[in-house]
Amino acid sequence: MFDPYVRKMIDPPLNVIGKRLADIGVSANSLTLLGFFLGSFAVVAIMLGRYSVAALFIALNRLADGLDGAVARHTHLTDFGGFLDIVCDFIIYAGVIFAFGVVTTENLFYAAFLLLSFIGPMTSFLAYAIIASQRKIVCERRGKKSFYYLGGICEGTETACVLLFICMFPASFQTVCIIFGILCWLTTLGRMYNAWADFA
């Protein structure tokens, strides 16, 4: 929901840094993988009960995720780069929630509910992108991407904020899971309507 507005603020500094990284030979895919490893450390930190450490690694993961796209825009966007980026993102999103679910049994139901709720936004996002590609539909409102980025209530900005919030305030985890899970379902319904309106 907020991605287009956030992109306008963060893209200029990210593009400056991305150009400098591209000039010294840093590849977009290497930054994607670095971000994945940083996010994996966050998952481990949560399992160890080190929530503040996890928040730091999630922030670094999101920074790397922004920089990989900036570097790609100053070199060249590739289909594999887009594929790698979205796969790594989705694994880290789910991994953080999974870690909260296993760190204490009281969180298990809530983590399972949110992970189930993630399925709708993730699959609708990818399914729409496939059909949009087949129909040569493009949109750069969220920046220049390797494939179509369909909007919704729950996008990257909202998900990143939720992951950081639950790490900074772990006692809120169960409440956040219910609220964000419901928003994920609303996102899915909205995207289903978009797909019906655009493709039916």
Domain residue limits, the chain: 3-199
pLDDT at residue 74, rounded to an integer: 82
Q: Is the pLDDT of residue 109 over 60?
A: yes
Q: What is the pTM of this model?
A: 0.87
More confident residue, 159 or 199: 159
Torsion of Cα atoms, 46 then 152 then 6 then 15, to 10°: 90
| pLDDT over 90, % of the chain | 60
Question: Using one digit for the tens of pLDDT, what is the confidence trace for 36-60?
Answer: 999 999 999 999 999 999 999 999 9
If one counts every other C-beta atom within 10 angstroms of the C-beta of residue 166, the result is 27
> Poorest-confidence range of 8-17, 75-84, 147-156?
147-156
Residue 179 structure tokens: 């609220």
Mean pLDDT estimate for the chain? 89
Q: Inform me whether the pLDDT recorded for 88 exceeds 80.
A: yes
> What pLDDT shows up at residue 185?
96
- The pLDDT value recorded for residue 186 is 95
179 CB-near residues (< 8 Å, 6+ apart):
none
CATH 3.30.365.10 holds for 3-199: no
Contact 154, 2 (CB under 8 A): no
State both tokens at 157.
């900005």
Q: Summarize pLDDT for 113-148 with one digit per residue, the tens.
A: 999 999 999 999 888 888 887 877 666 554 555 556
Cβ atoms of residues 98 and 43 within 8 Å: yes
